[in-house]
Chains A and B, each alone.
Chain A
Amino acid sequence: MALGFSLWCAAALLALGVVAVLLARNRFATTIIYSASLLLTLALLGNALIHLITNAAPETTILPLGLPWVGAHFRLDALAAAFLILVNLGAAGASFYGLGYGRHEISPSRVLPFYPVFLAGMNLVVQADDAFSFLLSWEFMSLSSWALVMAHHRVPENRHAGYVYILMASFGTLALILAFGLLAGPEGNYAFDAIRARAQTQGAWPVLMLVLIGAGSKAGLVPLHVWLPLAHPAAPSHVSALMSGVMTKVAVYAFVRILFDLSGSPDWWWGLMVLSIGGGTAVMGVLHALMEQDLKRVLAYSTIENIGIVFVGLGLAMAFQANALPDAAALAFTAALFHAFNHTLFKSLLFFGAGAVLSATGERNMEHLGGLIHRMPVTTIAVLTGCVAISALPPLNGFASEWLTFQAILLSPELPQWGLKIMVPANGALLALAAALAAACFIRLFGVSFLGRPRKPVAEQAHEVDIWSRTAMAIFAALCLLAGALPGFVIDALAPVVQAVTGSHMPAQTTIDWFSIVPIAASRSSYNGLLVLLFIALSAALTAYLVHLFASKSVRRAPPWDCGFPDPRPVTQYSAGSFSQPIRRVFGTLIFQEREQVFMPPPGDMRPARFHVELRDLVWEFLYAPISGAVSVTADRLNVLQFLTIRRYLSLVFLALVSLLLVLAIWS
C-alpha cells in the first residue's frame, strides 16, 4: 500500500511537470507548482517515515512498463525508505524555499516544468527494483537536472557547465549499464531479486570499479568531480540545493544498493580503495573550496568534501563486512548514513542562504559582499547555524556524525589486513585535516560575506528576503540543531536500514538516559549533544547575568580602534583571497602548483601594485584536457575523409572487398 501511494505521488509529480508547461504564461504558475510539489513531497516524506518507523516489511510491485519480458519492478524496503525520507526532506525544503525564491526567477518557463520532473526522477530511482527502471529514472534525473542547469543558458559558462555535466552523467550511466550487464549475466535477467539470486560468491571486482565510476561521478568522488563545481552553481539556488544536498545522496544510495545489496560479499581491499578515495576526495574538495571566490562554488566543493567523508564511512563498513565484523560494520554504515542525512540538511540550508544573498544583492562573488549581518539578520543567523554545523562543531549535527565516523575508525585495529592497518589511520588523519580545513573555509565564507563592512554598494543596499525563504532556512537550521542535540533518535531510526544492509545494527540509543549516544559500550565512549548544548547555554547565560549584575553595563560606540589607523575604506578589510593566503601557502604549492606574482610599480609611478595568483587544477589538466585533446586530434585527422574524390572512396570500397575476400581465403 505504501509503495503504491508513493508511486502515485511520483506520477503526480510527473503530471505536475506537464501542467507546468501548460501554465507557463500564468502569473501564479510559480506558486501553484511549488506548493503542489511541496504537498506531494511532504506526502512522500510522511509515507516513507511511517514505513521506516513501523519497520514494515518490504513491499514490491511490478508494472507492465519498462523491459517487455522483465516489467518495471518497484520496491520499498528500509534502505529505500531511508533515502526516500532524505530525498523528500530536501525536496520539501527546496519547494518551500522555491515559493519565495521562485518569484525572482527571470525565465520561470524554463525552470518550472523540469523541477517537479527532477523530484519525480529522484524518487523513482530510490524505489526502482530492476536494472532498466533504475537506470531509466537515474538518467531521467540527470536529464531533468541538466535542463535546470541550462535554465540560464544565455551565460556561456552555464552552457559549458551543462555540457560537461551531461557528458559526465552519461559516462556514469554507461558505466552503470556495464555494471548491470555483468551482474545480470548474458541471459539478461535484470530484476534485482534475480541479480541477488545469481550474485557470485566471490565479489566481482569489475563491478566495484564500474559502480565507483558510475555512482562516484554522480556523487563527485575526486577524479570524476570536475562537473560538480561547474553545474551546481549554474542552476537556480533551490535546484543547486537539491543537486548538492539530495542528488549526491541518490548516488550514495546507488553505491550502497549495488555493492552492499546486489553484488556478492566484498573483498577487504574493496573497503581500502573506497576508504582512500573518500579520504582523498575530502581533502581535495575542501582545499579547492578554500581557493574559490564564488559562494556557490565554495558550497559545491564542500559537497565534494562531505561526500568524501560519507565514502570513508562506507569504505570502513565494507572493510568490516569483508572481515565478518557486523557490529563494527553497522557503526561505520550508520555514521555514513547519518552524515549523508546531516549533509542534506546543512548543505540545503547553506545553498538557501546563498540564494537569499544572490536575490538580495545579485552577487555571488564574496569579494563584493560584506556587512550583510546588519541588513539580513534572519538569513545571517540561519547561515551561521549552517556554517557551524558543516564545520562539525559540537552542539550541532555535523559533529555528531563526524564523531561517529571517528569512533568507527578507532574500531579498526581489529582488522587483520596490513593494508587496512596502514591506510585507516592515514585516512583518519586526512578526515581530521578535512574537518579542520572545512572550519577554516566556513569561517572565511561567513566572515567575508556576512561580517565586516560592505565592499560594494550592491552589498550596502541589500535587503532581507521574503518570508518563505526565511522560514525554509529557519526550519532547516532548527533541524540541524535538533539532529545535533538528539542524535540518538536519528541513529535508532536508521537501525532497520543498517540491519538490512550490514546484518546487524547499533545498540538502541534512545533507551540510554539523558539522551546521550553510546556507539559500542559506555566504557568506550559516549557523547551527549543535548547536555553539551545546555551546558554552553546555561554557563553563557549565567556569566552574562553575573557580569551584568556586578560589572558595568555601559556601552560606548566609537570608530574602530584598528591600532590607530583611521582608514575607513572597506577595501583594507581581509578579502576571501587574503584570508586563504596562509593556507594556500601551506597546501597550495603542492596541490595546485600555486604561483604568486607581485608587480611593484617603479618608485614615483602612481599606478597601484598588482598581485596575481595563478592556480592550476591538476585533475583537469592531466585527465580531462588530454582526453578532449585526443578526441579533437582524431576528429581532425578523420575529417579528411569527408573531402576525398569519388575515386578515393571507390578505392576504400575496393580495399574493403579485397580484405573481406582475403579473410575468406585465409579463413577456412
Chain B
Amino acid sequence: MTMINPLILVLVIPVGAAAILALIANYRISSRINVLASFITLLAALSLFIQHPEPDSYFLVDDLNIVFIVLNSFVGFTTSVFSATYIAHELEIGRLTPAYLRFYHAMYQVMMFGMNLALVANNIGLMWVAIEMATLATILMVGIYRTHEALEAAWKYFILGSVGIAFALFGTILVYMAAEPVIGQGLQSMVWTVLIERVAEFDPALLNVAFIFLLLGYGTKVGLAPLHAWLPDAHAEGPTPISAVLSGLLLNVALYAVLRFKMLMAANPAAIAPGPLMVTMGLVSLVFAAFMLYRRRDIKRMFAYSSIEHMGIIVFAFGMGGPLANFAGLLQMTMHSLTKSAIFFAVGHISQVKGTQKISEIHGLTETHPVLGWGLVLGVVAIAGMPPLGIFMSEFLVVSSTFSRAPLLAIPLVLGLMVGFGALLLRLSGFAFGEPVGSRAPVQASYVPMFAHLALVFVAGIYLPPALVAWFQHVASILG
C-alpha cells in the first residue's frame, strides 16, 4: 500500500464508486456498494495518518485538513450505513420510488468526492470547483422527494447557492489578481502553500475585497445569518441522511475554506483584520438562530437552525482568534458534526416511526421507544452544550476566554447561548417526555451509527487523545 499514495485513494474511490453506482438500478446492491465504498474511503483516510504525502501544486495534507478528512469519511461512512436502512424503509412506506432513487447513491459518492477534493485541494480554484460540485450534488438530493415543498426547497437552495458561487469565484479571482504580480502568472499563484508564504507582499486592499467576497460566498455555504435562508428548508425537506451530511460535513467543509483564506489574511499585517467581521457575523447568526428556534413546528427545521447557531459560535470563536478560542472552534466543529449527525439519525428514526416531522405530534418518546428516546435526549443535551459531552468543553473555553478579553462581546454570546438552550430544552421536554402519542411500532433502522457518534462525543467530553490535541493546538497557533 505504501507505494500507492493514500491521498489518491481518498479521491479515486468515491469517483469510481459514483461511476459504478450510476450504472446499477437495483437499490439493495447499490446501497451495499455505497457502504463498502465509504468504508474503503475511511480506511484510506485513516492511512493518511501513517503515510503523509508531501504537498504538490494540486493537493495538500497538513494538520488542519487531515482531521477533517478523517472526520468526513467517518461521518460519511456512518451516514451511508444509516441511509442504507433508512432509505430501504422509505421504499417500503412508498414515500420514495426506485425511479427517484436511481442516481441517489451515485450523487452521494459524487458529494463525498467533492468534499474530499475540497479538503485536500491545494489550488484555491480547484477548491472552489470541488465545493460547487458537492453543493450541486446535495441540491439534486434535496429535491429527491419530488413533493412541492422539496422542489421549492431545492430551488431556493439552487438560486442562493448560485449567487454564493459567484461571490466565491469573484473572491478567488481577486486573490489570484493580488498574487499574480508577486508570484507571477499561471498556476503557481493559485497554490495555497505558495500563497501563504508570500501573502505578506500582496496588495492589502485587493486582499480585503477578496476576503469579503470569499467570506460571503463560502459563508452562504456555512449558513451564516444573513445568507442562511436555504439551510432550514434544505434540511427539513431533504431525506434525513442528506440533512445529516449537510449539517455534519458540508457546513464544515465550507467553513474550512473560509479558514484557509482567514489564514491568508492573518499572515498579511496590512490587510483588514478578519476577526471583527467574523465575530459580528458569528454573533448575528448565533442570536438570530437562537430566537428562531422557538417558533419552529418541524423537528428537522429546528435542528437546522441549531446548526446555524453552532456555526455562529464556531465562526465567533475563530473571529476572536488566539490559541484558546481557535482550539475551541476546531473542537466545536468536530463535536458539532458528530453530534448533529447523530441527532439527525435519531430524528430520521422518529419521523419514520411516528410518520411525521411535526413537533406537536411527537410526545413521550422515552416511554414508547426508550433507546431512541434517551439517545435523542443525550444528543440534544450534547448539542445544548451540557457536560459531560464534548461541546461543553469548547463552549467553556470560548465563553471564559471571551469574557476575560472582551467582556462586552460575552453578553450577546451568553444571551444567544441561553435563548438557544431554552428553546432546545423546551422542545426536548415536549417530544422526549409527556403522554406518548402516535404509533408505537418498533424502529427498523439500525442504532449503531447514532450511538457510535454519541459515544465519541461522550469520550471527547472527558478525554481528548494527545495527537488530536497537538494538531488542533498547532493549527490554532497558525490560524492567528
Contacts and interface: CB of A to CB of B under 8 A. Distances in A.
B404 A182 contact: yes
A174 interface: yes
Interface in A638-655: 638-639, 641-642, 644, 646, 649-650, 652-653, 655
Given A150-B433, A632-B294, A143 B387 contact: yes
A205 to B, nearest CB: 13
Residue among B277, B291, B401 with the highest chain A CB neighbour number at 10 A:
B291
Contacts of A188: 324, 397, 400-401, 404
B402 interface: yes
Given A178-B414, A635-B294, A644-B229, A67 B160 contact: no
Contacts of B403: 177-178, 181-182
Contacts of A636: 295
Contact of A646 (B159, B208, B216, B461): B159
A559 interface: no
A325 interface: no
A656 B425 contact: no
A416 interface: no
Contact of B425 (A65, A66, A132, A167): A167
Most chain A beta-carbon contacts within 10 A, residue among B229, B294, B393: B229
Interface string B204-243: 0100110011011000100000110110100000000000
Contact of B399 (A64, A174, A635, A656): A174
B434 interface: yes
Interface stretch (B69-77, B107-115, B133-141, B415-423): B415-423
A534 interface: no
Contact of B209 (A110, A171, A180, A664): A664
Interface stretch (B96-104, B334-342, B463-471): B463-471
Nearest to B462: A65
B53 to A, nearest CB: 28
B410 interface: yes
A601 to B, nearest CB: 39
A170 B292 contact: no
Contacts of B263: none
Contacts of B469: 68-69
Contacts of B461: 136
A156 interface: yes
Interface in A116-135: 131-132, 135
Interface in A611-642: 631-632, 634-636, 638-639, 641-642
Interface string A481-515: 00000000000000000000000000000000000
B212 A178 contact: no
B141 to A, nearest CB: 20
Contact of B226 (A67, A655, A663): A655
A641 B461 CA distance: 35
Given A639-B295, A646-B159, A664 B208 contact: yes
B451 interface: no
Contact of B167 (A135, A657, A667): A657
B404 A136 contact: no
A186 B398 CA distance: 11
A667 B434 CA distance: 54
B426 A174 contact: no
Main secondary structure of the interface of A (DSSP, over half): helix
B227 A646 contact: no
Given A139-B386, A631-B294, A660-B212, A181 B434 contact: no
Given A139-B392, A635-B292, A650 B163 contact: yes
A654 to B, nearest CB: 9
B410 A650 contact: no
Contact of A184 (B209, B404, B462): B404
A631 B387 contact: no
Contacts of A642: 232, 292, 295
Q: For chain B, which range describes its interface: under 10, 10 to 19, 20 to 34, or 35 or more residues?
A: 35 or more
Contact of A657 (B216, B401, B433): B216
Contacts of B220: 653
A657 B429 CA distance: 40
Contact of B404 (A109, A137, A186): A186
Nearest to B324: A188
A143 B381 CA distance: 9
A343 interface: no
Interface string B384-408: 1111100011011101111111010
B418 A171 contact: yes
A162 interface: yes
A154 B292 contact: no
A163 interface: yes
Contacts of B322: 186
Given A143-B381, A163-B426, A664-B212, A638 B418 contact: no
A488 to B, nearest CB: 41
B429 A649 contact: no
Given A136-B392, A634-B291, A639-B292, A154 B435 contact: yes
A171 B366 CA distance: 26
B364 to A, nearest CB: 8
A159 interface: yes
Nearest to A631: B419
A227 B410 CA distance: 25
B138 to A, nearest CB: 18
A170 B272 contact: no
A166 interface: yes
A181 B324 CA distance: 12
B163 A132 contact: no
Contacts of B208: 664, 667
B152 to A, nearest CB: 9
A159 B434 contact: yes
B227 A181 contact: no
Interface string A56-95: 0000000011111100000000000000000000000000
Given A139-B386, A184-B404, A653 B272 contact: no
Contacts of B400: 131, 177-178, 180-181, 184, 188, 190
B89 interface: no
Contact of A649 (B212, B229, B381, B384): B229
Contact of A631 (B156, B213, B417, B422): B422
B303 interface: no
B288 interface: yes
Contacts of A190: 400
Contacts of B421: 167, 170
A167 B292 contact: no
Contacts of B156: 646, 649
A570 interface: no
Contacts of A649: 156, 160, 229-230
A140 interface: yes
Given A136-B387, A167-B421, A177-B396, 9 more contacts: A67-B397, A136-B388, A140-B388, A153-B429, A159-B429, A186-B324, A188-B400, A649-B229, A653-B220
25 contacts: A66-B462, A67-B393, A68-B469, A69-B469, A140-B387, A154-B434, A170-B386, A174-B418, A180-B400, A181-B404, A184-B400, A186-B404, A187-B324, A188-B400, A188-B401, A188-B404, A206-B407, A634-B291, A635-B295, A646-B155, A646-B156, A649-B156, A649-B160, A653-B160, A655-B226
Interface of B: 155-156, 159-160, 163, 167, 205, 208-209, 212-213, 215-216, 220, 226-227, 229-230, 232, 272, 277, 288, 291-292, 294-295, 322, 324, 364, 366, 370, 381, 384-388, 392-393, 395-397, 399-405, 407, 410, 414, 417-419, 421-422, 425-426, 429, 433-435, 461-464, 466, 469, 473
The 8 closest A-B pairs by CB, nearest first: A181-B400, A153-B433, A635-B294, A649-B229, A181-B403, A68-B469, A656-B226, A639-B295
Interface of A: 64-69, 109-110, 131-132, 135-137, 139-140, 143, 150, 153-154, 156, 159, 162-163, 166-167, 170-171, 174, 177-178, 180-182, 184-188, 190, 206, 631-632, 634-636, 638-639, 641-642, 644, 646, 649-650, 652-653, 655-657, 660-661, 663-664, 667-668
